[in-house]
Amino acid sequence: MKIRALVDGIERAAVLDRPGNRLQSVVTKVLRGRVRDLLHGVWLGHPIHPIVVLVPIGSWLSASLLDVLRINHKAPTALVGAGSAGAVAAAITGLNDWSSLTREQRRTGLVHATVNTIALGLQVASLAARRRGDLRTARWLSYAGLATVGFGGYLGGHLSYRQAASVNQAEPLLRRIPEGWHAVCDLEALTPGRPQVHHIDEVPVLVVRNSNDDVTVMIERCGHETGPLGEGEVRHIDGADCVVCPWHGSTFRLTDGIAVHGPAATTQPLLRSRVRDGLVEAALP
Ligand code: FES
C-alpha cells in the first residue's frame, strides 16, 4: 500500500526535525504551566484534542453534505465558519500535546498539523467565497478542504494507533500482572518518601512508603511515554505527595495515581497493597 509507505517515510524523515524543533521551542515558550495542563486535558483525566477535533470535522462534513444536496446555502456558511473556529482550538490543543511527543511521533505530527492547516486555509477561502456569493467556488473549496482534513485525520490515526501517541502506555503493563496477591519487598527496606523499583512478574512497580506507613504500589513506567518514574522525585504538590516523571514532568498523586500535571492526562495505574508479617504485597485493583 502506497499510503503505508508514505507514512512510514514520514516517520523516518529526519529533514522534519529542524522545523519541528523550532516549532517545539516556540510552543513550549508560549504555552506554559496550568495553561498546558488545561490544554492537555489533565482536568478531564483524558486528552481533549481528540474531542475538540470533532467540531471542525463534523461541521465541515455537514456543510459539504448540505452543499451536495443543495438544501440551503446559509447553514453551510455557518457550519464552515464554526468548523474553522473549532479547527483553531483543535490546532492549539494538538500543538500542546505534540510538543511532548517522541521524535518520530513529532515528525508525523508535524505533517498532520501542516495538512490540517491547509484544510483550514481551504475552508476559510470557501467562507470568503460564500460571503461574496460565489457558491460554486465555495463548494469546491469546501470539498477540497474536507478531503484534505480526511488525510490529516488518517495521519492523526496513525499517530495514535500505530505510534501510540497520547495513549496510556502504563495500562498494558497492568494487564500483564496475574490475579492474586504478590510479594513485593520487606516494609523495613523502605524509607518513607524514598521510592524503590521492584518487579511483579517482570513488570516494574514503583513502591513508596508513606508517612502513615501505608505503601503505594504503582506501575513504574509513566503512562505518557514510559518514562522511568523510579528515577523521578517524590514532591509535596497541591497538598499531596506526588511522583514527578523525569522525562516530561507528568506528576501523579501517590494516593490515587491521578495526574495533577501533564503532559499525561490519564491516571497512573495503582495496585492494591497491604503489609503482612512485615512483607509488602500487591494485587490488581
Ligand atoms: S514519559 Fe513523558 S511525562 Fe513521563
* Domain covering 171-283: architecture: 3-layer Sandwich (2.102)
Q: Give the pLDDT band of residue 4 (cuts 50, 70, 90).
A: confident
pLDDT tens-digit series, residues 27-46: 999 999 999 999 999 999 99
pLDDT (average), residues 14-29: 97
**Which cell goes with 107?**
515528525
Nearest CA to ligand 1 atom 2: 248
- By the 8 A CB rule, do 73 and 239 touch? no
Alpha-carbon distance of 214 to 257, in angstroms, equals 15
Contacts of 14-19 with CB under 8 Å at 24 or more apart are 16/106, 16/107, 16/110, 16/111, 17/103, 17/106, 17/107, 19/110
CA of 228 to the centre of ligand 1 (A): 8
102 lines ligand 1 (CB under 6 A): no
Ligand 1 atom with least separation from CA of 248: 3
CA of 249 to the centre of ligand 1 (A): 6
Q: In what order do the strands lie in the sheet with 215-219?
A: 182-186, 279-283, 270-276, 215-219, 203-209, 196-200
DSSP three-state, residue 91: helix
Ligand 1 atom with least separation from CA of 222: 4
What pLDDT is recorded for position 255?
92
For residue 182, list its beta bridge partners: 282
Q: Which mutation among 106, 247, 266 tests ligand 1's pocket best, with the greatest number of atoms within 8 A of CB?
A: 247
What pLDDT is recorded for position 62?
97
Ligand 1 atom with least separation from CA of 264: 3
What pLDDT is recorded for position 72?
78
227 lines ligand 1 (CB under 6 A): yes
pLDDT tens-digit series, residues 58-91: 999 999 999 999 887 799 999 999 999 999 999 9
CA of 77 to the centre of ligand 1 (A): 42
pTM listed for this prediction: 0.88
How far out from the chain centre does Cα 244 lie? 17
Q: Give the pLDDT band of residue 2 (cuts 50, 70, 90).
A: confident
Alpha-carbon distance of 252 to 243, in angstroms, equals 5
- By the 8 A CB rule, do 123 and 84 touch? yes
Ligand 1 atom with least separation from CA of 249: 3
Ligand 1 atom with least separation from CA of 263: 3
Cell 519541528, located at residue: 20
Please report which helix (H) or strand (E) contains residue 168, including its range: none
β-pairing, 182-186 with 203-209? unpaired
β-pairing, 215-219 with 233-237? unpaired
Q: Which mutation among 169, 206, 225, 261 tests ligand 1's pocket best, with the greatest number of atoms within 8 A of CB?
A: 225
Contacts of 72-81 with CB under 8 Å at 24 or more apart are 73/130, 73/135, 76/130, 76/142, 77/127, 77/130, 77/131, 80/123, 80/126, 80/127, 80/130, 80/142, 81/127
Residues 6+ apart with CB under 8 A from 26: none
